[in-house]
Chains A and B, each alone.
Chain A
Amino acid sequence: MYLYSLEINKMEGLLEKTTREDQRIAKTSADSLRKASRKLSQSEKSVGITLEHSHETVRLPRKAISLLSTILSSMAAGKSMALILSDTAIGTQEAADFLDVSRPYVVRLLENGEIPFSKVGTHRRIKVSDLLAYQKKMKSTRRKQLNFLARQAQELNLGYSNE
């Protein structure tokens, strides 16, 4: 399962839009959840959340907490979102929205074999998990480039100071 926020188009009917009220509440709770979850040790696999009214404690898997954190920060940013299963297949326009690039660019990625796809009739379909794998690869390339820049800046003394 993976959460992603995307400009809602045809799914709009199925989803509740984030309201200003939601956004206001999420702004506070996203901050406190992030601060609290940073204090958790890596070994804790689940977290107990106490409900205000019944004082009941619900145990949530750690992964669910980080998903909740993502939901809250997206809400705090005023975004509406969709929760989709990672083996869902989506179209090229949705993939373009997801990657924040143009549709022709996605088509080029598919034609160049960068992302696997299948065809349903004339329509290209992309599995969300394949899209995520591509995104992960891009992120790691980007991180390497940023690390290179930082290393170079430190070597050449371009403004970082430890004073």
Chain B
Amino acid sequence: MSRPPLIIALPDANVLYPAPLRDYLLQLASLGVYEPIANLKDFPLNELSFHAVRAEHPDAFISECIVRDSSKAIKALENQVKSLKNPPIPVEKVLKNLEANGLIASVAKLRSKI
């Protein structure tokens, strides 16, 4: 099995994500679907350029995660829905939120699995 691709995000940059997208990414990571690099000091910047760092659209990255492990991808969505309490948001609305954040292909994949 090929290793999951690495995604690199600066902790402070989290705020740039719309929350629904950020939370789904974090839910996927917490189930181990991909491994975020928690510690940038493990990757000194002058070394980073030697690694295959690529910019990827979240829709492409998340689609790949769903293909890799669809049951965990659904679990991540369920966990996200469960975390929304005030007010509760039904799964269909959460999917719409994710779509509004640009996850078009990913949401289509998730819908076909539910």
> A interface vs B, CB < 8 Å?
30-31, 34, 69, 73, 76-79, 100, 139, 142-143, 146-147, 149-151, 153-155, 158-163
Q: Which of B27, B74, B89, B113 contacts A160 (CB 8 A)?
A: B89
Residues of B close to A31: CB separation below 8 A: 70-71, 113
User: Given A143-B30, A146-B30, A162-B87, 20 other A-B contacts at CB below 8 A?
Assistant: A30-B71, A34-B74, A78-B1, A139-B30, A143-B79, A146-B83, A149-B19, A149-B22, A150-B23, A150-B80, A150-B83, A151-B86, A153-B22, A154-B84, A155-B86, A159-B21, A160-B19, A160-B20, A160-B89, A163-B96
Chain B residues numbered 52-84 whose CB sits less than 8 Å from any CB in chain A: 68-72, 74, 79-80, 83-84
Taking the closest CB of chain B, its distance from the CB of A57, in whole angstroms, is: 26
A100 to B35, CA, bound (A): 9
A162 to B30, CA, bound (A): 25
CA–CA, A163 to B101, complex, Å?
14
Cβ A161 vs Cβ B100 within 8 A: yes
Q: Do most interface residues of chain A lie in helix, strand or loop, or is the interface mixed?
A: helix
Over the window 94-114 of chain B, the binary record of Cβ atoms lying under 8 Å from chain A Cβ atoms (1 yes, 0 no) is 101100110000000000010
A153 touching B23, Cβ below 8 Å: yes
- Quote the shortest CB–CB distance from B43 to chain A (angstroms): 14
State whether A161 touches B23 (Cβ < 8 A).
no
A149 and B23 within 8 A (CB): yes
> Quick check: is B18 within 8 A (CB to CB) of the other chain?
yes
Q: Within the complex, which residue of A76, A150, A161 is in contact with B71, where a contact is CB–CB below 8 Å? A: A76
